[in-house]
Amino acid sequence: MSLTAVGGALLFLSIGFAGTWLARRYALARRLLDEPGERRSHNVATPRGGGIAIVVAVLVAVAIGWTALGGGLALAAFATGFALVAAIGWVDDHRPLSPALRLLVHVLASALFAAAVHAGSGAPATVAIAFLAPLVLTNVWNFMDGIDGLAASQALIVGGLLALGLGGPWPLVALALAAACAGFLPFNLPTARIFMGDVGSGAIGYAIGALCAIATGQGGTAAAWLLLPLAPFLVDAGLTLARRVLRRERWWTAHTQHAYQACARRHGHRAVTLGYALATLAGAAVALIMKEHVTTFIASSLFTWYMSAAILWGWLQYSRGAGTDAAAPSWKENE
């Protein structure tokens, strides 16, 4: 890592740490607290909205990248969409909004980014990914942000990996995301003193989705290796949602049926967050090894990895009778 990269990482780490500290003071002063309850994962009232520090760090990185490395329509659209997702999350952290309104803003933000990628002569597949990836991951990160340290640690790992595989101003954005999450984590582990909130979880998911789309545009189908470290979140969120739809449940409402929730009830937040982090680190390591291989090898590796993750999801869900809301709910869908 160059001295410039080290300096940037320290800057964004400082913004994440200091910004979270300030956000906690603000939340306490405004009484922005998540109270304990049967759909909550904590036992004491805890401030929310700490993810605003991560948002600020990423926007600072965009500004620096634009000035030092040259901007572009895609970077401008990313910043606009990222700010929109963060803003609707910030408002929702203060005053709950309807899911339909939040989804509408998420769709708009993703459409803006996809339109910019299309204007930059992106291939149709890349444009589709530029719309779907931010939209899907915005909500996946929100769904999976339910226990101490989980969403931030995953973003730290994935953001760090993206920083190694992108060109132009985008590595700086990914570095800011990873470093700011590292600055946030001391307040969210080992027992949370502040939660990320929708302002953080939604914005993180949007950023990772957009960066994955950029990686696809720069690397073509070979960028599929990025799906490996995303497997823990995509499999848990995707299979849990599919099961709820098949059961004809109100899948858009809060629940306690994710695999990480079932594990947290049995083993606690720290062990589950560590387990997911190790799985993501393993996926990142394999991704770095195989990213130079041919597409067929990447495809076979992805199939094997995701099938293994799906089998593990089933074991985690159904061992010891887990996987239903009846098993001592202890989480919250939205911080």
Asked if residue 226 belongs to a domain, the reply is yes
Q: Is 108 exposed, middle or buried (0-12, 13-18, 19+ CB in 10 A)?
A: middle
Asked if residue 154 belongs to a domain, the reply is yes
> What 3-state class would DSSP assign to 208?
helix
Alpha-carbon gap, residue 247 to 258, rounded angstroms: 15
- pLDDT of 68: 84
Global pTM value? 0.91
Domain count, the chain: 1
Annotated binding site for Mg(2+): 142, 198
Alpha-carbon gap, residue 257 to 181, rounded angstroms: 26
Average pLDDT estimate for 307-315: 92
Alpha-carbon torsion (64, 65, 71, 72), positive or negative: negative
Annotated binding site: 142, 198
Asked if residue 33 belongs to a domain, the reply is yes
User: DSSP class of residue 177?
Assistant: H
CB-CB contact of 50 with 188 (8 Å): yes
Q: Write the single-letter amino acid at 253.
A: T
Confidence of residue 294 (pLDDT cuts 50, 70, 90): low
Average pLDDT estimate for 13-33: 96
pLDDT at 107 > cutoff 70: yes
Q: What is the pLDDT of residues 108-161, one digit of tens each?
A: 999 999 999 999 877 899 999 999 999 999 999 999 988 899 999 999 999 999
Asked if residue 331 belongs to a domain, the reply is no
Asked if residue 330 belongs to a domain, the reply is no
Q: Which of 238, 266, 263 is nearest to 251 (CA)?
A: 238
pLDDT at 324 > cutoff 60: no
pLDDT at 221 > cutoff 80: no
Confidence of residue 16 (pLDDT cuts 50, 70, 90): very high
Alpha-carbon gap, residue 184 to 149, rounded angstroms: 9
Phi-psi region of 68 (alpha: psi -120 to 50; beta: other; left: phi over 0): alpha
- pLDDT of 79: 98
Write out the residue range of the structural domain in which residue 7 sits: 3-321
Asked if residue 57 belongs to a domain, the reply is yes
Asked if residue 327 belongs to a domain, the reply is no
Confidence of residue 224 (pLDDT cuts 50, 70, 90): confident
Cα separations in angstroms, 332 against 181, 272, 308: 20, 16, 27
Tell me the pLDDT of the chain averaged across its residues: 88
Asked if residue 329 belongs to a domain, the reply is no
